[in-house]
Every structure is written in structure tokens, then in C-alpha cells.
Amino acid sequence: MPDNLPMDFIGFPRLSGHALLSLRGTEAVLFAHAQFSSDVTALPLRHWQWSAWLSAKGRTLSVFQLLKVDAEHVMLVLADGDADAIASQLQRFVFRRKVKIEVRNDLVAAGSFTSPEAASEAAIAQHGEVMELDLGSDALPRTLKIGPMPADAGMPDPAFELAWRQSDLRYGLPRLDPDQREQWTPQQLGLDRLNGYSVKKGCYPGQEIVARTHFLGKAKRALQLLRSAEGVAGGARVQLDGTDTGTVASVAGDLALAVLPLEMPEGALSINGVEAHPVPLLDGLAR
């Protein structure tokens, strides 16, 4: 561990795949509210929520944590996706709104499988320049910290990053590789378990399809966590007694989140012909 790491980051390996994106300005909150699936205006200051950016067809482009840092600053914590590309795509919708979009290469996200010191559920705790977030529950404690990039942050730890990704999947948090973006509705990805979208707030991209699916009860598929052999890739087919029944959306080691029918008969599950077993999802990550 480098000696010059800030005290708040000692024991917190950085998550090299996580990127931070800031929306700043007097209309930053309104802009985020109009673009993303969660109710940003109802979120209290210094709190965070799960959210998503959807296509006009209601398909999920990105799932992220949305932090309301203050009245004029919203921050996105992107575990997946090209932050520069997302910033560029968002910029097309700014028009005359008073908001500045910036990728925060000066900040780093780091995690630990320990309970937070001060943060609790959706409330953000501040330690100097470092923000602390509660990203777990009693079943699986986790803490995420965000702060200035150290001069020497050290090399990423692939084993830790895999363990973190696996813990995301255990909570039912989809981690979408590029080929799985714009494939799934929020309902299919189980974002209702995370309170990741609103059907009551005003318009946002894909809102009409999300609301129609919700109110007409047309969601027929949802996420199921499976354990299978390592090497499974997103997009792999899931079979029930040899017949295709679903698709893998996220993978981490020997764990896979698959989109499967809500009502499915008993039978032997497999992925690409390799035996797979259902694993119960953990609760407690809704914010």
C-alpha cells in the first residue's frame, strides 16, 4: 500500500473500472431528472439512489449510482460503460440548460467489504474531500469511497475487483458488458428491486414503455442468479431440460445473472450445455 494514500483510503482497493461523471450547474438536478429513470428531484441532498439511462425504446443503456452532492451538483458512479462516450451523448441533450458535464478523472472510487463508518443506506457521509457510501447490508457489508486520485494509487487488484463484481451480482445489480447494453428493459433487469426507476415522475427517455409495462403487468421475465462453470459470457443461452429459455445478461466468475421467465417449470438448468444452479439473490441494496 503506497504511503501517500489518503488516510480515508487505507485498506480500500480502488475499483479501476469505476468512472465518475459530474453534472454541475443551476439546472443539473432538473437535467438529470429529465434524462434518467429515477426521481432525482425527490432525492434529498447528500443522498444517493440507483438510476439508469434508457433508450427511447425503454432499453437500458447504463445502470449507475446517482449522488445528489448538493443543490447544483449531481454525480454518477459508473461501474460499467465508457464515461467519455456517455458524457458526449448526454451533451447532445443539454441545449440551453445551465449544466456542465464533466468526466472526473481527478477522482477515484475504492471499495471494502466492511460496514461504513458513518454512511447509512442512502445517506452519504463526508470525510474531508472523501465521500463514503453504504453499498451493502447486514448480509454482505460493503463500503464505497470516492475522493481525490492519489499521486500513486497503486495497481488494481483483479481478485478484489472480481469479488466486488460477484457481490454486485449477488445483490441482483446487473453489470452490463457492451454487447448487453440496449438489450433489456429495467423490469427485465430487476431494477425495481433496487428502486432504480420511477413510474410516477414526468417524462424521461423510455418512460412510456416502462410505465406501460408496469401498469399493464406485461413484464414476463426477470433476473435469476445462477452458478455455473467459469467462462460463460454475456448473451449465452440458458436451457431448461435442453430447451432455450433465457439469456445471460451479466457474468462474474462462476456467477451469472440471467433473464428468465417469471413462471418457469421445474427442470434442469444449463448454460451452453453446462449444468447451472439457482442461487438466491440478496436483499438490502435498494435505496
Q: Which CATH class is domain 7-157?
A: alpha beta
pLDDT at site 1: 40
Q: Which CATH class is domain 179-279?
A: mainly beta
Over the chain, what is the mean pLDDT?
93
Measured distance CA(85)–CA(285) in Å, rounded? 28
Q: What is the pLDDT of residues 31-80, one digit of tens each?
A: 999 999 999 999 999 999 999 999 999 999 999 999 999 999 999 999 99
Strand partners, 221: 261
State mean pLDDT over 166-183.
95
* Domain ranges (residues) in the chain: 7-157, 179-279
Could you tell me which residues come within 8 angstroms of residue 216 by beta carbon, excluding any fewer than 6 positions away? none
Measured distance CA(250)–CA(232) in Å, rounded? 9
Cβ contact 35:205 at 8 Å? yes
